[in-house]
Amino acid sequence: MKLSGHYLDKNMSEAEKDLQETILDILRKYIGEEFNAEQVTPTANLEALGIDSMDVVEIIFDLEETFDIDVPDPGDMDDVEVKFDTAQDLVNLVDALIKQKN
Amino acid sequence: MRIVITGMGAVSSLGYDVDSFIKGIQTGQSGFSTIQQIPEIELLKVKIAAEVPDYDETAHFEKKQLALYDRFTQFQLLSARQAIKDAGLDFKGELAERSSVIMGTGIGGQTTQEQNYKRLFAEGAKRLPPLTVPKLIPNAAASHVTMEFGIKGPSFSIASACASSAHSLAQSCMMLRSGIIDVAVTGGSEACITYGTVKGWEALRVTSKTTCRPFSKDRSGMILGEGSGTIILETLQHAQARGAKIYAEVLGFGMSSDAGNIVQPSMDGAARAMKAALKDAQLAIDDVQYINAHGTGTPQNDPTETAAIREVFGAHADQLAVSSTKSMHGHALGAAAALETIAIVSALQDQIAPPTMNYNEVDPECDLDYVVNKARPMEINIALNNSFAFGGLNAVTVFKRF
């Protein structure tokens, strides 16, 4: 199963909202100085927020620590799409990894 | 080719700048106190060190920088900022590519290494922070200096334990003489007052539990220090062309290896380094007035160094003022020679030999004039700095009043 993860706000559960908000808060630590917290939305492109590849590595570490998961490298898993382009990519990924763990 | 010192920066147990360092060594101030940064201090026998006092990293660096800067990198950046500002240099255009950063460190990012081993082995962490490796590599300090100031010439770090920054200075001089650079940012940094490192020093039984008394009969070992020194070297031509203020001239250097024992010092190796330095500087033995000794205060170093000075200087040895400023700023390993270079510059500029503090009792095996317990105004035209490292790697540098 490929997780497409098209979350729509109106259909989101409380747990899903919490997950999304936690991840957005993590991302807010890494955005460039010229950006503000409101610009960090689920669909925003991480690179466009001044988040570089080294930041992504740190963000992955934060996600692993926060959610007690192991984030695979792109291509490592067949059933989970591993990409780090937008906040939503990360939410989908973490959600899938949490479900997999449980 | 003549080489001069045009900038200096210091972070040490005596304070956060060059002025506090010089004032400290000229007034016999002690940088020793009970270790603050090791939570496990109760498990240590050696509880005294020369720490940078009340250090608050957040006062100097952003949170994002701190994720990347080990304590030794932070100290190096702090002293480099001072030295580069002092020299009035702006590394733009061709100068950026004709400048180097050569920095010494004995160990590198020891704090990072230990914190992460603790997490991994003791606390059962499943993963390490992703910046662990770039934070702990010994060249991190030199690299971050290049990045902060846009210095684009040949840069690297040098590790020769207690002589690291002396070898860095010598290497920088060679590069200046070769013509591949015009300006060298050099020196060293150390920050290894950690539980694991102090335990290691304890086991080696060369660190004192009380204080550092170089050349005194009742000496009981070295006091581990930390900090950083940065020295700006330039060709005289380059310095004069831009109207830089000049602190002192570097006349030369000498290096040798004991090829003996990993920890026992060798009279022969030390003497060969001093002879090589005098030869490189084209000096006669009676041209020298002051030696800033390696003077660690260990039972082994001090008589060996004394004998080496006698071997090199013969009868003139009795005319020399020889002091160990490690009795005040501690043994900052990879930063030691950089800090001691600043001590020498102050000796040449102020015509004051800094003292050997905590001296109590004459040792028949250490029978030179050690400027005991009080600084001495005297004429100093030429001074040597001795650095003799674990591993038997020696470097001696020679400076002249300008």
- Looking at chain A, which residue has its C-alpha nearest residue B131? A58
Banded model confidence at residue B355, pLDDT cuts 50, 70, 90 = very high
Give the integer Cα–Cα distance in Å for B393 and B371.
27
pLDDT at A11: 66
pLDDT at A10: 60
The proportion of chain B whose per-residue pLDDT surpasses 90, expressed as a percent, equals 99
Give the integer Cα–Cα distance in Å for B292 and B368.
13
Write the DSSP string, B203-271: HHT-B-SS---TTBTT---B-BB-EEEEEEEEEHHHHHHTT----EEEEEEEEEE--S-SSS--HHHHH
Q: Among B198, B28, B5, B172, which Cα is nearest to B83's?
A: B5
A57 contacts on B by Cβ (under 8 Å): 130
Pairing type for strands B376-377 and B248-257 reads unpaired
What residue spans define the domains of chain A?
A: 13-101
The residues of B annotated with a catalytic role in the active site are 162, 294, 331
- In angstroms, the separation between the Cα of residue B59 and the nearest Cα of chain A is 19
pLDDT at B28: 98
DSSP state, B145?
H
Q: Among B253, B35, B235, B285, which Cα is nearest to B163's?
A: B253
Structure tokens belonging to residue B100: 């180097």
Measured in whole angstroms, the distance separating CA B347 from the mean position of its chain's CA atoms is 16
Sign, CA dihedral B189-B192-B197-B203, equals positive
DSSP state, B73?
H
3-class secondary structure, B22 = helix
**CB-based contact A64 B127, cutoff 8 Å:** yes
- Looking at chain B, which residue has its C-alpha nearest residue A65? B127
For B377-398, write each residue's pLDDT tens digit.
Answer: 999 999 999 999 999 999 999 9
Mean pLDDT of all residues in B225-233: 98
pLDDT at A101: 86
pLDDT at A3: 43
The answer to whether A40 faces chain B, any CB pair under 8 Å, is no
* Probe site for chain A from B66, B126, B147 (most A CB atoms < 10 A): B126
**CB-based contact B130 A64, cutoff 8 Å:** no
pLDDT at B63: 87
Instruction: Tabulate helix, strand, coil % of chain A (nearest 5).
Output: 55, 0, 45
- Looking at chain A, which residue has its C-alpha nearest residue B134? A54
3-class secondary structure, B158 = strand
Please provide the average confidence, as pLDDT, over all residues in chain B.
97
Does residue B74 register a pLDDT over 60?
Answer: yes
For B75-131, write each residue's pLDDT tens digit.
Answer: 999 999 999 999 999 999 999 999 999 999 999 999 999 999 999 999 999 999 999
Vertex B400: Cα angle to B174 and B273 (nearest 5): 55
CATH topology of domain A13-101: 1.10.1200
Specify whether the CB–CB gap between B125 and B71 falls below 8 A.
no
B67 contacts on A by Cβ (under 8 Å): 58
Give the integer Cα–Cα distance in Å for B227 and B193.
10
The answer to whether A61 faces chain B, any CB pair under 8 Å, is yes
The answer to whether A65 faces chain B, any CB pair under 8 Å, is yes
Residue A65 is inside which H or E element, if any? helix A53-67
Residue B385 is inside which H or E element, if any? strand B382-389
**CB-based contact B127 A61, cutoff 8 Å:** yes
pLDDT at B186: 98
Banded model confidence at residue A75, pLDDT cuts 50, 70, 90 = confident
Q: CB contacts < 8 Å between A and B, how many?
A: 15
Domains and CATH numbers, chain B: 3-241 (3.40.47.10), 252-401 (3.40.47.10)
Give the integer Cα–Cα distance in Å for B175 and B153.
11
Assembly ipTM = 0.73
A65 contacts on B by Cβ (under 8 Å): 127
**CB-based contact A57 B129, cutoff 8 Å:** no
pLDDT at A16: 83
Residue B39: count of CB within 10 angstroms of its CB: 9
* Probe site for chain B from A54, A56, A60, A73 (most B CB atoms < 10 A): A54
DSSP state, B382?
E
Does residue A79 register a pLDDT over 70?
Answer: yes
A60 contacts on B by Cβ (under 8 Å): 130
The answer to whether B92 faces chain A, any CB pair under 8 Å, is no
pLDDT at A4: 42
Does residue B300 register a pLDDT over 60?
Answer: yes
**CB-based contact A65 B130, cutoff 8 Å:** no
B147 contacts on A by Cβ (under 8 Å): none
- Looking at chain B, which residue has its C-alpha nearest residue A31? B64
When mean pLDDT is compared across A12-16, B32-36, B258-262, the lowest value belongs to A12-16
For B6-32, write each residue's pLDDT tens digit.
Answer: 999 999 999 999 999 999 999 999 999
- In angstroms, the separation between the Cα of residue A58 and the nearest Cα of chain B is 6
Q: Is A66 left (phi over 0), alpha (psi -120 to 50) or beta?
A: alpha
pLDDT at A80: 76
For A7-60, write each residue's pLDDT tens digit.
Answer: 445 667 888 889 999 999 999 999 988 999 999 999 999 999 999 988 999 999
> Residue B158 forms beta bridges with which residues?
B104
Mean pLDDT of all residues in B290-305: 98
Give the integer Cα–Cα distance in Å for B90 and B37.
35
Q: List own/partner pairs for B33-36 with CB under 8 A and 24 or more apart.
A: B35/B193, B35/B198
Q: Residues of B203-230 as b/e, b for ≥16 C-beta within 10 angstroms? A: eeebbbeebbbbbbeebbbbbbbbbbbb
When mean pLDDT is compared across A1-10, A31-40, A65-74, B169-178, the lowest value belongs to A1-10
